[in-house]
Homo-oligomer: A and B are copies of this chain.
Amino acid sequence: MNVVPQALEKLIDDFKRLPGIGQKTATRLALHLLRCPAEEARTMGRDLAGLHEAIKLCSNCFAFSEHDPCDICGDNRRDPAMVCVVEESGDLMAIEKTGVFSGKYHILHGVLSPMDGIGPDELKIEALIKRVHRQQVTEILIATSSTVPGEATAAYLSNRLQGCSGLKVTRLACGIPIGMDIKYADELTLGRAIEARKKA
Which residues on A are within 8 Å of B, measured CB to CB? 1-8, 10-11, 14, 17-21, 25, 27-29, 31-35, 38, 40-55, 63-66, 71-72, 75, 88-90, 92-93, 96, 109
Residue of B nearest to A38 (CB): B52
Interchain CA distance A2-B33 in the complex, whole Å = 29
Measured CB to CB, the nearest residue on chain B to A72 is B3
Closest 5 CB pairs of A and B: A45-B49, A45-B48, A7-B54, A38-B52, A14-B44
Closest-by-CB residue of B relative to A56 is: B5
Distance of A106 from chain B, by nearest CB (Å)? 14
Assess whether B33 is in contact with A41, with CB atoms less than 8 Å apart: no
Contact A48 B48, beta carbon cutoff 8 Å: yes
Inter-chain contact A47/B7, CB cutoff 8 Å: yes
Task: Give this chain's copy count.
Answer: 2
- Least Cβ–Cβ distance between A72 and chain B, in angstroms: 6
Question: Contacts A29-B19, A34-B52 known; A5 to B65 CB distance under 8 Å?
Answer: yes
Least CB distance, A108 to chain B, in whole angstroms: 13
A32 to B44, CA, bound (A): 15
Minimum CB–CB distance for A52 against chain B, Å: 4
| Residues A33 and B48 in contact in the complex (CB < 8 Å), given A27-B90, A40-B17, A43-B14 | yes
**Does the CB pair A11–B47 fall under 8 Å?**
yes
User: In whole angstroms, what is the CA distance A93 to B27 when docked?
Assistant: 10
Give me 25 A-to-B residue pairs in the complex whose CB atoms sit less than 8 angstroms apart, sorted by A's number: A1-B75, A2-B71, A3-B96, A4-B93, A5-B65, A7-B47, A7-B51, A8-B64, A10-B47, A20-B25, A21-B29, A27-B90, A31-B88, A31-B90, A33-B48, A34-B51, A34-B64, A38-B51, A38-B53, A41-B51, A41-B52, A42-B52, A45-B47, A45-B48, A45-B50
